[in-house]
Amino acid sequence: MSSALGKVLLFGGTALAATAAAFLTVGLLHLGQGAKPADALEAQAGGPPVLRRLTQSQYVHAIGDIFGPDIKIGGRFDPDIRDSGLIEVGAGKVSVPASGLEHYGNMAHTIAAQLFDKQHRAEMIDCKPFSEAAPDDACAGRFLSQLGRLLYRRPLTKDELDQLVTASNEATKTVGNFYSGLELTVAGMLQAPQFLFDWERTEPDPDHRGQKRLDAYSRAARLSFFLWDTTPDDELLTAAEKGDLDKPQGLAHQVDRLLASPRLEAGMRAFFTDMLSFDAFNNLAKDPAIYPKYSYGLAVDAQEQTLRTIMYELLAKNGDYRDLFTTRETFLSRQLGAVYGLPIAKDAPDATPDGWQFHRYPDGDEHTGILSQISFVALHSHPGRSSSTLRGKAVREIVLCQKVPDPPGNVNFKVVQDTKNPLYKTARERLTAHRTEPTCAGCHKLIDPIGLSLENFDSLGGFRSTENGQAIDASGELDGTKFTNAIGLGQAIHDHPATPVCLVDRIYSYALGRTPTKSEAAWIRGDLVKDFAADGYRLAPLLKRIVTSEPFFRVIDSETAPVRSASIEGGSK
């Protein structure tokens, strides 16, 4: 294999391979104090650019959008890393080890092979070589230039294109087929840092002397990955090329287009999947002797139920975010209905083509809000028993953004785990006994009163009124607000001041791929949260305010945090 072809197959054939271990700077989350005018807070807010690996979801969506939905992705991904509550933030702190390069290589060759089979090549390439058995640099260059713009989310440089064309030429000579040569070259591009990483670049800000901002193509990528969970489409890249994204009117036009698109649902599904830690379903297990209804299909449906509920409330109805915790409206599949005790007819007239039905629980039913759904109560439970502690901790950390310390290493969990102890028949009694240990009492006071209000739901999410023959006391408390069951918990979360603040913090961090800097955090608390409340806690106006704000694209290097690296191992440093 020639050296030029080898470089393309490993790193996409550009100088960026030599800097694949470039450093990522991240801001520290610090909610600023003191009162400053909102416009002053926005004027000074900003943070460093990021280098983050595409998440599994972004990779899959990008391949589908660039090449078509029938292209299959063979292989597996290395695990994502969660940081500050989000995989999207962790994506800026991960590397691609040798094993990961092998996985990406397998996927790249699987994808490329499909692109250049006889079924797809005519759709992919708008030119024909003079001979299929010989190189054609003009046709190869035309195709690679067009594809590179989509894969790398910007036009290729002359050097990049020249190297790719040279590699394609040499590969064609080696394998004796023009399309096979292109296939090898594209496989290399799909493994390149320029595709696998969202690499943000900066330029001088003409409106703020001495400051920087993201360049137009980085703006396009930040917008698209945030709102659509995928790579920028042709129209957005064209807007970047024409300078439209640098102008308020042009930016507003593209933002309105992205927000009005059906693809917004995919973007928001990705965000809430991340925020609600649904990746934990990959490792969820239930004792089959106790919960025979649990299956992989049920786990998939449980996530889908919650996502459908969220999309219905926040996008279809344009409703109040806080209502997610009190709503009685949801969607059910037959598998979920079996757990909830609600028979779902396969051929019901109101069922969707994939078998889902809209359902509204009657007033007084404890199935209220997304925290009563299987996706929450089953995910935050043990394989054979419920867990008030895990559920309370999840409410604090996921919904309210309040970090709960991990338990000490020497804690004795015997009393909590023994569900057959005749002295402590219910979870409340076992936890009361467990809290007699001084090292456990502090944290349990913060989380158990929350989780105990969900004890009417077993480890799988089925409703129960007794445990070991004894009536369950589902009363609880959240920061001074007392309630008697899950209905009261949902209302307490709805009314808690930290609930909307947490969402704004999380969604801003998700959009940027890092935690807010000190100035951004002050702007979030001083402006963005107040606007969110004034807009009725609706999601779409919040998204628009974020992506049309000056801080969203402003680069302030003076607030960089300790350097964190994101790299492809094996690259030159």
Is residue 243 within 8 Å of 268, Cβ to Cβ? no
Query: Distance between CA 330 and CA 350 in Å, rounded?
Result: 14
Query: Distance between CA 141 and CA 153 in Å, rounded?
Result: 17
| 309-338 per-position pLDDT tens digit | 999 999 999 999 999 999 999 999 999 999
Cβ neighbours of residue 330 closer than 8 Å, sequence gap 6 or more = 305, 308, 309, 358, 359, 360, 361, 367, 373
| Choice among 135-139, 176-180, 446-450 with the minimum mean pLDDT | 446-450
| 75-131 per-position pLDDT tens digit | 889 888 999 999 999 999 887 877 788 999 999 999 999 999 988 988 889 999 999
Q: What is the pLDDT of residue 440?
A: 58
Residue 43 has pLDDT above 70, yes or no: no
Q: What is the pLDDT of residue 512?
A: 96
Q: What is the pLDDT of residue 27?
A: 26
Token pair belonging to 418: 């023994």
| Choice among 46-55, 249-258, 564-573 with the minimum mean pLDDT | 564-573
More confident of the two residues 385 and 354: 385
Residue 423 has pLDDT above 90, yes or no: no
Residue 70 has pLDDT above 60, yes or no: yes
Residue 571 has pLDDT above 50, yes or no: no
- The mean pLDDT of 229-245, rounded to a whole number, is 98
Instruction: Give the other-Cβ count within 10 Å of 564's Cβ.
Output: 16
Instruction: Give the other-Cβ count within 10 Å of 364's Cβ.
Output: 9
- The mean pLDDT of 261-279, rounded to a whole number, is 98
Residue 421 has pLDDT above 70, yes or no: no
- Report the candidate in 147, 194, 146, 186 with the shortest Cα–Cα distance to residue 168: 186
Residue 137 has pLDDT above 90, yes or no: yes
- The mean pLDDT of 49-69, rounded to a whole number, is 96
Residue 3 has pLDDT above 50, yes or no: no
User: What's the whole-number average pLDDT of the chain?
Assistant: 86
Confidence of residue 16 (pLDDT cuts 50, 70, 90): very low
Q: What is the pLDDT of residue 37?
A: 56
Q: What is the pLDDT of residue 414?
A: 53
Confidence of residue 31 (pLDDT cuts 50, 70, 90): very low
Query: Distance between CA 571 and CA 10 in Å, rounded?
Result: 9
Gyration radius of the chain's alpha carbons: 26
Residue 528 has pLDDT above 90, yes or no: yes
Is residue 333 within 8 Å of 305, Cβ to Cβ? yes
Q: What is the DSSP letter of 381?
A: S
| 141-176 per-position pLDDT tens digit | 999 999 999 999 999 999 999 999 999 999 999 999
Q: What pTM value is reported for the model? A: 0.88
Query: Distance between CA 514 and CA 193 in Å, rounded?
Result: 19
Exposed/middle/buried for residue 265 (C-beta within 10 Å: 0-12, 13-18, 19+): middle
Q: How far is CA 333 from CA 43, 225, 296, 305, 313, in A?
A: 48, 30, 14, 8, 18
* Helix or strand holding residue 251 (H, E): helix 248-260
Q: What is the pLDDT of residue 562?
A: 32
Q: What is the pLDDT of residue 97?
A: 78
Q: What is the pLDDT of residue 273?
A: 98
Instruction: Give the other-Cβ count within 10 Å of 74's Cβ.
Output: 12
Residue 19 has pLDDT above 60, yes or no: no
